[in-house]
Amino acid sequence: MLTLSEFHVIPLLFFITFLSPLLSTAIPINIWPKPRFLSWPQHKAIALSPTFTILAPEHQYLSASVTRYLNLIRSENYLPLINHPVKLMKGYTLRNLVVTVTDLSLPLHHGVDESYNLSIPIGSVSAHLLAHSAWGAMRGLETFSQMIWGTSPDLCLPVGIYIQDSPLFGHRGVLLDTSRNYYGVDDIMRTIKAMSANKLNVFHWHITDSQSFPLVLPSEPSLAAKGSYGPDMVYTPEDVLKIVQYGFEHGVRVLPEIDTPGHTGSWGEAYPEIVTCANMFWWPAGKSWDERLASEPGTGQLNPLSAKTYEVVKNVIEDVVKQFPESFFHGGGDEVIPGCWKTDPAINSFLSSGGTLSQLLEKYINSTLPYIVSQNRTVVYWEDVLLDAQIKVDPSFLPKEHTILQTWNNGPENTKRIVAAGYRVIVSSSEFYYLDCGHGGFLGNDSIYDQQGSGGGSWCAPFKTWQSIYNYDITDGLLDDEERKLVLGGEVALWSEQADSTVLDSRLWPRASAFAESLWSGNRDERGVKRCGEAVDRLNLWRYRMVKRGIGAEPIQPLWCLKNPGMCNTVHVVGCNTHMLKKSESCTRLIMSVRWPRVLTPSLLSQILKKQKNPVTALKLFEEAKERFPSYGHNGSVYATMIDILGKSNRVLEMKYVIERMKDDSCECKDSVFASAIRTFSRAGRLDDAISLFKSLHEFNCVNWTLSFDTLLQEMVKESELEAACHIFRKYCYGWEVNSRITALNLLMKVLCQVNRSDLASQVFQEMNYQGCYPDRDSYRILMKGFCLEGKLDEATHLLYSMFWRISQKGSGEDIVVYRILLDALCDAGEVDQAIEILGKILRKGLKAPKRCYHHIEAGHWESNSEGIERVKRLLTETLIRGAIPSLDSYSAMATDLFEEGKLVEGEEVLLAMRRKGFQPTPFIYGAKVKALCKAGKLEEAVSVINKEMMEGHCLPTVGVYNVLIKGLCDEGKSMEAVGYIKKMSKQVSCVANEETYQILVDGLCRDGQFLEASQVMEEMLIKSHFPGVETYHVMIKGLCYMDRRYEAVMWLEEMVSQDMVPESSVWKALAESVCFCAIDVVEILEHLISSKR
């Protein structure tokens, strides 16, 4: 476990491999947003060839992007504000960037894959950019452009660099209000250009409001003609097309918002008959706030009782959908004010007759939402439609599959409420993301503006600093992954009561840049600590580069601060990052050391890596080894160790990097390494990466892919990618050894049957003949079981007859397990007579069943009830067992099946028959028996199987058998008894407890309240390089606090943080509740950790 002093080592563990706090001011490249993973171990650079070009596939928008970036690279002439020594490699230049896109057809919509890999290998004249979509390629091109410095033609960029990058959230937007003040088309396009540079992908265009209607619509031209500020302050269809196309060329979706039914005063200029309270004073004299007509000057709301309203609204929707191809349509829905509707006589009559204001909104939503959906659009509304205290709709009017809600009030609280209701959400909390806040008010005679200490008239004061924007977590308070998945992303908003094109850039940038990084790569460092203090220099540098690119971003510090690193901090420490240290502590504590041998071998490095409790440390040492020992080279074993460590800790991006390194080194590697990586990718929800890895295996020095192939198929079927799994099988199964192909086929059939797709499994079965191999016993067993579980008894019977035919042709294939599956299924379906008939055919095929058994069944000595049918099934089983040709395989399969079905008596009969025939039961059979006994609550008998029965049968228990028993004991509250089996395993040769063993035992001990014992087992677990899950840490820490074992609780908290896990709020609460009784040193440690997570 980490000690406190060791805990402080972490800030510089990523000194070489990642853009750490120190690297941000020590290298000439500064990429914003910060990539998820970057490796540049040797700090070397290369010159860009004067004839440099970008080679990319033809694509309407990607091609335009390539041209744009080529022009930018040649003309930007960016010089770092501080000169840093970098070794420039001589002898060659970088001639091109090769862009590869795996699927050019992917459209720009929410959820499109924006990931990319970028590498510039040493010694190569080509850089490589790989992306799954054209839009991901655009993100990679932006990163590439930010790595270049110098004055043309003398341009440089890093070499020996590798980047893997992808966004945390799919929706990363900027809202611009063009109704209250007008912005020119060039202003909007400049904003989209800046968004693309910051890897933002949604321009939320709040086009209309009560103040003006600037959008020209062919079906309703009078809305803009009468509702805009003037003919030179409108957006024509040509303007919209230009903006939308410009968005596509920059990978930015243009999401239109037509705010209704509130905020529609501008509609009243053209259609006064459909707008209530239009052009009235917004807050009548002598009225309370609740009696206002609008929340700010500019009144008017659509009348839901007017048929003309829906005629006009549908025309507007139809025109907007034609002009904007975006799949989201924002319908507004915020701030529907009761007082405005109450000015209309028809509405007052409706209310007097028992109607409600909420029913009016429901009528409007129910009349417009289905029409928007019919246009193949998903509707976005502001949160008010569901959460407003006075006027809201019943959730039944907002189908979850067609509706997204956008928050703007009450910070994380409203996000939690929307997610709890099951809706997807876009976060735009005014407490963090409203960029107009803090600039005072705009009302003409409000006396509050000059009151000292007030917000100056700004309803959402104070000003939202880039730091507060950067630090906000949009999933704050959401407890599980399923809830977090409903958070699509967020938007910063610039409302334009006091903004127009003259201040547009400075209001947005660089605060929107801070927002961009927090939603792209997050606002925390590798330990889960908020990195706002580290980001200031990087954001400052990026701000200067944006200005160089023509974006008028406001400054965040004097230039002097960049030229004097560390001097603008509140605590002055030179040469290291100190946001985790007290003033009295020395930077030397950050130096990580390890005792290196004089000569390093792969086996020695593997041992060193395995001893590291922190995977981050292991990766740093993995990188450092080649620097310290120039003649040393990693082999397959070292790579396997590193990939295993990263996979177990779910560090997917780092694992991908190591796999790429392994491919470049061309060292011999085992199939099991790739199988493990495929499982890790799938577990992390990155099945596409698993498939890509498998498809690239021919590029590695790996001879046999069987295990990887089997693992991939299993994971694909598990994720319901059934058709894709069959396609992978057909494409890659040819050319293997027959046994390998049969194994793969059987596995594929098994997982298909597990998800009730015996139809697909049957196709695979039929495919065997065309694959040049033939079904074996497992093939028949799997498919027979699949048919019978789905009640497809006719297909099952035909399968049996095909088996008879194969026996007659090939002379083998008889299997009593297949027979029993079908006979039992027929009996369960009440088809006992058919079962008896089939049994007769089976016996005629050569089974030597005792005549007594068959006579009892054939004579009809059974009753047609459940008890009688079970008796028949037992007799059928006895007939098959006694009549079978002796086979260890048949007996094992039969016994295992019976135990798995909980049929202990019948399973025991098979074991007896096996022994009589001279066969010894295998550990696998004993494991099935132990599991069945535990499930039946017969723990003493289960213990006896391992302690007595297996020993008498000269069969040593395996780890799997022990795990089954340990789980059974823990499930029954006997975890302390289970602990003894860890010791017993350690004394048995070749039987080592694995991760599952420890996890079962720790969880069981915690459930039983044995936290001290659980803590000891977990320590042993870590020593063996097995890592507990986050929930285990939570339970352990809270349990130790409950027992007043605060030192142990805090130590586990440190270990948890070091594993890049973020404790949930209940853990902090448990620790906080025990602080009052803690010793002072424990309090200090807690204060330190809490401040680091704040």
Task: Name 932's Cβ contacts closer than 8 Å, sequence gap at least 6.
Answer: 899, 900, 902, 904, 907
Element (H, E) at 98: strand 94-101
DSSP 3-state of 598:
coil
Task: Name 668's Cβ contacts closer than 8 Å, sequence gap at least 6.
Answer: 635, 636, 701, 702
DSSP 3-state of 599:
coil
Alpha carbon separation from 615 to 287, 317, 568, 593 (Å, rounded): 64, 53, 34, 15
Q: Are 11 and 590 in contact (CB under 8 A)?
A: yes
Helices (H), 632-705: 636-648, 652-665, 671-683, 687-695
Q: Is the bond leading into 33 cis (omega within 30 degrees of zero)?
A: yes
946: DSSP letter: I
Task: Name 441's Cβ contacts closer than 8 Å, sequence gap at least 6.
Answer: 448, 449, 456, 457, 458, 459
Q: Strand 403-407 relative to strand 424-427: parallel, antiparallel, unpaired?
A: parallel
Instruction: Count how many Cα atoms sit within 13 Å of the Cα of residue 574 in the half-sphere of its side chain.
Output: 2
Task: Name 124's Cβ contacts closer than 8 Å, sequence gap at least 6.
Answer: none
| Alpha carbon distance 247, 254 (integer Å) | 7
Q: Strand 171-177 relative to strand 275-276: parallel, antiparallel, unpaired?
A: unpaired
Task: Name 230's Cβ contacts closer than 8 Å, sequence gap at least 6.
Answer: none
Alpha carbon separation from 649 to 295, 838, 925 (Å, rounded): 51, 53, 33
Q: Are 969 and 935 in contact (CB under 8 A)?
A: no
452: DSSP letter: T
Give me the sign of the Cα torsion angle 1078, 1083, 1089, 1092. Answer: positive
Q: Which two tokens stand for residue 544?
A: 């200067």
Q: Which two tokens stand for residue 962?
A: 């022990």
- What's the CA dihedral at 694, 696, 700, 704 to 10 degrees? 40
Where do the DSSP E strands lie in 787-916? none
Q: Which two tokens stand for residue 223?
A: 């809305």
Q: Are 988 and 957 in contact (CB under 8 A)?
A: yes
CA angle at residue 471 from 466 to 475, to 5 degrees? 130
Q: Are 198 and 515 in contact (CB under 8 A)?
A: no
| Alpha carbon distance 77, 626 (integer Å) | 35
| Alpha carbon distance 848, 436 (integer Å) | 89
What are φ and ψ of residue 95, in 5° steps? -95, -30
| Alpha carbon distance 1063, 1034 (integer Å) | 7
268: DSSP letter: G
311 in active site:
no
DSSP 3-state of 332:
strand
| Alpha carbon distance 715, 728 (integer Å) | 12
Q: Are 295 and 210 in contact (CB under 8 A)?
A: no
Other beta carbons within 10 angstroms of residue 737's beta carbon come to: 11
Q: Are 882 and 890 in contact (CB under 8 A)?
A: no
Contacts of residues 854-859 at CB distance under 8 Å and 24 or more positions apart, as own/partner, are 854/879
Of 249, 335, 654, 1048, the catalytic one is 335
| Alpha carbon distance 565, 575 (integer Å) | 9
Active site residues: 335
